[in-house]
Amino acid sequence: MHQQKATLQDTEGQTAREKYELIDRTLKSKGNPLTISYLCESAGVSRSGYYAWAKRKDAPGSYPCQKEAQDEKDFELILEAFKDRKCDKGRRSIHMWLLHKKGILMNEKKVSRLMKKYKLFCPIRKANPTRRMMKALKSSNVAKNLLERRFEEYGPGYVLLTDITYFFYSASRRKAYLSVVKDAFTKQILAYVLSESFEEDFVLETIEQLYKNPNTTIHTDAMIHSDQGSHYTSHRFIQLLKDKELRQSMSRRGNCWDNAPQESFFGHMKDEIGEYFKDIEEFEKLKGTVDEYMDYYNNERYQYALAKLSPNMFYEYYKTGKYPLIDLVKEPVKIIEKFKKAREFQQGLSSTSESSLSNDSSSNRIQDKDSPVSIIVATR
């Protein structure tokens, strides 16, 4: 009761309609002992004004009725977006889904308000304990951190990020391991392998898969960045990178920010589909669920950092220069500048390569001292 009184007395600056709504909620609250006269006096409004408002709000065609009907209609769209492909979404993802799937520009604040109103919540990400297990198994073959968090300066196909995570599935909490290679610029998942074993073979298979994908363009001597886990410091993994002419870079010990985009991907993936794993009893079905998510992520998982596009759409946008949402929203200036810098970097590498060929035909490798990316003057 005392809390109700304090709330009513703290109504300075509110509109009359907001005060009437507060009075109405207080009257309907369980165990409320306060009278309408007291509530109206405390809120600084007249009883006749409240009665008139209460009569109007329930009348067909009134503003409150229209607003409630519109909220219900809009929430149906939000719920459709939230449940699409069984991947839970937050307000930003729902906002972008509506742009792409329905051509509707719904304000993020409205999405947030309606989710709260109808008690629709997106899971909150938790820390990943995999890091401790991986670091405990690391060896002494640690590469330098050549990337230094410059994830997006070089354009598609230059900086590749890789990491491992695990999932519990089935009622008996069986464990499966996932190895992924991600393009740092486009955020595309270029290769992934799900395994029942923690042996290093599935990590090697991920690199092999990377070069079997006909839709993947890996620049000559691109760099692959990882943490210092035992798989990435093994002699077999290091030799495979040399065979593929991939330069190796590693995060500093215990510093997850050095591979943050990859860590972020795993976190979002577990938030969006992790709760369904407990109902999966067979490994092949788990693999099918992961396959479906990867397809969803690359083609329909829209991201603010990618100009509200999915990773594959963002890559096409980079290649063609055509922004697919131009009829609904403005083309982001920051993205235009980002593309410009990436293309300037690539042109600089191209001119450096040509200069080196003319000056020293015996040299087959060129590297800018300020860049973690080097170029092999050859074609695969």
Contact 280, 257 (CB under 8 A): no
pLDDT of 129 above 90: no
Separation between Cα atoms, residue 23 and residue 8, nearest integer Å: 8
For residues 287-315, one letter each, b for 16 or more C-beta atoms within 10 angstroms of the residue's C-beta and e for the rest, the string is: bebbeebbebbbebbbbeebbbbbbbbbb
Q: Of 363, 323, 362, which Cα lies nearest the Cα of 339?
A: 323
Separation between Cα atoms, residue 169 and residue 279, nearest integer Å: 7
pLDDT of 365 above 50: no
State mean pLDDT over 177-188. Answer: 95
Q: Of 47, 33, 46, 40, which Cα lies nearest the Cα of 3?
A: 33
Residue with tokens 């096409």: 316
Between 265 and 86, name the one with better pLDDT.
265
Among 30-34, 186-190, 312-316, which stretch is predicted with the lowest mean pLDDT?
30-34
For residue 311, what are the CA distances in angstroms to 53, 256, 316, 338?
Answer: 50, 22, 9, 15
pLDDT of 58 above 50: yes
Residue 289, SS3 per DSSP: helix
Separation between Cα atoms, residue 198 and residue 221, nearest integer Å: 28
pLDDT score of 255: 66
Between 132 and 40, name the one with better pLDDT.
40
- Contacts of residue 279, defined as CB under 8 A and 6 or more positions apart, other chains included, come to none
The string of DSSP codes covering 103-115 is -----HHHHHHHH
Separation between Cα atoms, residue 312 and residue 190, nearest integer Å: 10
Contact 262, 163 (CB under 8 A): yes
Beta strands per DSSP E along the chain:
159-169, 174-183, 189-195, 223-226, 247-250, 365-367, 374-376
How long, in residues, is the chain? 380
pLDDT band at 377 (very low <50, low <70, confident <90, very high): very low
pLDDT score of 353: 56
Among 136-140, 192-196, 249-253, 342-346, which stretch is predicted with the lowest mean pLDDT?
136-140
pLDDT score of 227: 86
Other C-beta atoms lying within 10 Å of the C-beta of residue 110 = 14
Q: Per mean pLDDT, which of 79-88, 124-133, 172-181, 217-226 is the most reliable?
A: 172-181
**Residue 259 structure tokens:** 């591979």
Q: Of 368, 367, 148, which Cα lies nearest the Cα of 260?
A: 148
Please give the backbone phi and psi of residue 92, each rounded to the nearest 5 degrees, phi first.
-65, -45
Give the architecture (CATH level 2) of 123-380.
2-Layer Sandwich (3.30)
Separation between Cα atoms, residue 363 and residue 380, nearest integer Å: 17
- DSSP element (H, E) containing 284: helix 283-300
Residue 6, SS3 per DSSP: helix
Between 13 and 65, name the one with better pLDDT.
65
Separation between Cα atoms, residue 202 and residue 192, nearest integer Å: 9
Please give the backbone phi and psi of residue 309, each rounded to the nearest 5 degrees, phi first.
-115, 165
Domain residue ranges of the chain, discontinuous segments joined by +: 2-57, 63-117, 123-380
Judged by phi (left if over 0) then psi (alpha if -120 to 50, else beta), residue 157 lies in left
pLDDT of 371 above 70: no
pLDDT of 368 above 50: no
Q: Of 344, 374, 370, 182, which Cα lies nearest the Cα of 263?
A: 182
Contact 310, 148 (CB under 8 A): no
pLDDT band at 14 (very low <50, low <70, confident <90, very high): confident
The partner residues of 175 in beta bridges, in order of sequence, read 168
Angle in degrees, CA 134, 140, 146, rounded to 5 = 85
Residue with tokens 């369980």: 30
Between 379 and 241, name the one with better pLDDT.
241
**Residue 145 structure tokens:** 């951190």
pLDDT score of 329: 92
Please give the backbone phi and psi of residue 295, each rounded to the nearest 5 degrees, phi first.
-65, -45
Q: Of 159, 162, 129, 152, which Cα lies nearest the Cα of 270?
A: 129
Between 3 and 282, name the one with better pLDDT.
282
State mean pLDDT over 350-366. Answer: 50
Among 55-69, 130-144, 313-327, which stretch is predicted with the lowest mean pLDDT?
130-144
Between 376 and 367, name the one with better pLDDT.
367
